[in-house]
Copies of this chain bind each other. A is one copy, B any other.
Amino acid sequence: MSLRTLSAATSGLALAIAAIGFQPTPARADEGMWTFDNFPIARANATLGTAIDQAWLDRVRLSSVRFGGCSAGIVSGEGLVMTNNHCVATCVANLSTQARNYAETGFTPRNREEEQTCPGGTAEVLTDISDVTGRVRAAAAGRTGLAFNQARDAEIGRIEQEACGAATDKRCQVVSLYRGGQFKLYTYKKYTDVRLAFAPEDRAATFGGDLDNFSFPRFAIDAAFIRLYENGAPAPTPTHFTWNADKPVEGTPVFVSGSPGATQRLLTMDQLATVRDVVLPMDQLIASELRGRLIRFSEESEANAFIAMDPIVGLENTYKRGLGRMRALTDPAFMATRAEGEADFRRRVASNAALTQRAADPWGALSTVQPIARELYPAMALLEGGTGIGTTSVAGGSQLFAWARTLVRGAQERAKPSAERLPEYGDARLSSVQSALFAERPTYPALEQVRMEWWLSKTREWLTVDHPAVRGLLGRESPEQLSARLVEGTTLADPEVRRALWEGGLAAIEASDDPMIRYLLSIQDETRAIRADWETRVQAPTDQASGRLATARFEAYGDTVYPDATGTLRLTYGRIEGSDVPGQRWGPFTTFAGLWDRATGAAPFDVAPKLLAAKDRIDADTVLNMTVSSDTIGGSSGSPVVTAAGEMVGANFDSTVLTQRNAYGYDRNVNRSVIVTTGAVTVALRDVYDMGRLVEELGAH
């Protein structure tokens, strides 16, 4: 369940996150998270012995769905979409109460009328890609520093607004690819009524829990179905994947279509050192403490266990991924390969005098930024998030805080012309902000307080008591006192209150006596100053040097390169195969027989009750999970795995710990994505959860 990306807090800063860059050497066979408008059809066919074409690509694209921080695939003509169970875990938690806990029982609606809307859920299908590089570049031409970034972002906002206007069934997003090497306008068909159609018992999807997460062999039915609705009815989806539940065959070429979140393959060695020395250690250490607090919290009562479950699972996933990344960046062999890649690139630039001059030593410029990035990272990460290099965004810690920030900033920003706002509040993005803000999601004060107290105390610890922002953040209150006062006093848990405050604009915000709103108002000067400092001294010079690096890269290696992952639709390819490297030796398949063997009865190695009850009905040789060599990363969760015939044979739901180096560079020997098979999903629907009507809809047998 590794591959869900982080949601919410950083989305407004998508540009900063997106624009990390691309990998420093040309892609090798099987490598690459390719955009659909630049997929190497001929090379993939040559490598795999397949015969896909542009029409195939178009069908795959229109059958692929972005859902929250996950990916998904349309599998019927009536809007049915398969993704991972962990991608609907928050939806399941939001629809559950302690007494009616769908995570325990599974969610198995008897008919379509019982399918329930996921609060705040939106799904998007990429319908068009067009090049807007010229417009964006022209708008920023001749500017430097922060002014360059502001002009660029304003033009991007205008392009998005012109293309989508106030439409609520479309989303327009200008994506920076190749670190400013290209800007593309991505247009999506957007569904804002997404209903949960099926989820298994949570334990069936998470067998082995955090301990088996990021590993293989694996035994998890990490699959679920949602349905796209339009005008209160299932959306017609004539283009969709064909369901193929046949036993998979080792060596089969497969394609994985999804929206990998972010890779950092272009980072220079100096930038990587910042991630290794400063970013990951801090992120991981404070996550580890929150984990300890939440574990103890969840042990205090059944009620606490219920409300902390989804946060703990998400946190453990992020943490373990971070651990894999730390291992990659401290692996001498891996880092030597990365260094060799950079050295080769630098030699090529150095051997071309004109190129050397145009590039203007981007490595040196980025090196100069690093001491500043190291200094400013803690404040930016803790108070604002959205650095683009961290693993997590902790600002505020709590959902109530996050809503309050959206309300306060949204009101302040909407009082300005769109082009002058923080980019995440540009006109074209407001409808997405509103969907998230108005969603009916439960909040739990005890949990909110644990998280906010943790965030305040960690912020004070890392920035020190005497940091001006910390003085403003806490005044004379302790983290415990302040978080208790705000969480107990706020009424923002009520979506109608949030809606009224949003619609009331700045006047309503300024008149509000909600303590969380007042608090967010009171800390705007300090937190905005920290963001401005980061954007001026780190982000802007990084963007400009990275742009030169990208251009030099094109000149040195031609177009055999793909952009870093940006949370947008990509296609990657490989084969069904096992692994044979130290610490990772296994064949590509596991079966239900293996599940029965591994079960001990003690959590998390207990088989889910309904699944266990169905043991005799299940063919124990059915393949449950498998590994493929495709190039995936967080965000790829739920990605349909399809054959050259366009048939869906599984969904990506994880990768291995060793694969986490994938953030910084692809390693064909090590990289393996973990897949739940359509065969196992069919068994679950048919033999375990009595969901024959979905089996029929899938056309499965």
Q: A478 CA to B601 CA in the complex, in Å?
A: 10
Inter-subunit contact B277/A330 (CB<8 Å): yes
Q: Which residue of B lies closest to A480 (CB)?
A: B299
Inter-subunit contact B285/A292 (CB<8 Å): no
Q: Does A302 touch B at the CB level, under 8 Å? A: no
Q: A294 CA to B289 CA in the complex, in Å?
A: 10
Q: Does A227 touch B at the CB level, under 8 Å? A: no
Inter-subunit contact B450/A296 (CB<8 Å): yes
Q: In the complex, which residues 283-333 of chain A have their Cβ closer than 8 Å to any Cβ of chain B?
A: 284-286, 288-297, 299-300, 323, 326, 330, 332
Inter-subunit contact A461/B211 (CB<8 Å): yes
Residues of B with C-beta under 8 A to A281 = 281, 284, 326, 330
Q: A284 CA to B288 CA in the complex, in Å?
A: 9
Partner of A292, one of B290, B300, B461, B480: B290
Q: Does A600 touch B at the CB level, under 8 Å? A: yes
What mask results when residues 590 to 624 of chain A are scored 1 for a CB within 8 Å of chain B, else 0? 00000000001111010000000000000000000
Q: How many copies does the complex hold?
A: 2
Q: Does A465 touch B at the CB level, under 8 Å? A: yes
Residues of B with C-beta under 8 A to A212 = 465
Q: A476-B602, A600-B476 are in contact. Are A288 and B292 (CB under 8 A)?
A: yes
Q: A292 CA to B461 CA in the complex, in Å?
A: 14
CB distance from A72 to the nearest CB of B (A): 30
Residues of B with C-beta under 8 A to A45 = none
Q: A481 CA to B601 CA in the complex, in Å?
A: 13
Q: Does A460 touch B at the CB level, under 8 Å? A: yes
Q: Which residue of B lies closest to A332 (CB)?
A: B273
Q: A454 CA to B476 CA in the complex, in Å?
A: 34
What mask results when residues 615 to 640 of chain A are scored 1 for a CB within 8 Å of chain B, else 0? 00000000000000000000000000
Q: Does A47 touch B at the CB level, under 8 Å? A: no
Q: Does A477 touch B at the CB level, under 8 Å? A: yes
Q: In the complex, which residues 680-696 of chain A have their Cβ closer than 8 Å to any Cβ of chain B?
A: none
Residues of B with C-beta under 8 A to A603 = 478
Residues of B with C-beta under 8 A to A295 = 289, 292-293
Q: A291-B289, A291-B292 are in contact. Are A464 and B602 (CB under 8 A)?
A: no
CB distance from A521 to the nearest CB of B (A): 22
Inter-subunit contact B292/A211 (CB<8 Å): no
Q: Does A278 touch B at the CB level, under 8 Å? A: yes
Q: A284 CA to B603 CA in the complex, in Å?
A: 27
Q: Which residue of B lies closest to A371 (CB)?
A: B332
Q: A345 CA to B300 CA in the complex, in Å?
A: 57
Q: Which residue of B lies closest to A286 (CB)?
A: B288
Q: Which residue of B lies closest to A582 (CB)?
A: B375
Q: Which residue of B lies closest to A290 (CB)?
A: B292
Q: Does A250 touch B at the CB level, under 8 Å? A: no
Beyond A285-B288, A478-B603, 19 extra complex contacts between A and B, CB < 8 Å: A208-B465, A210-B461, A211-B461, A212-B465, A215-B464, A276-B330, A285-B323, A289-B289, A289-B291, A289-B292, A292-B292, A292-B293, A292-B296, A292-B454, A293-B293, A299-B480, A300-B300, A476-B602, A478-B602
Interface residues of A (CB under 8 A from B): 208, 210-212, 215, 273, 276-278, 281, 284-286, 288-297, 299-300, 323, 326, 330, 332, 450, 454, 460-461, 464-465, 476-478, 480-481, 600-603, 605
Q: Can you list the 9 inter-chain pairs with the closest CB atoms, starting with the nearest?
A: A292-B292, A277-B330, A296-B296, A289-B292, A288-B288, A292-B293, A293-B296, A288-B289, A478-B602
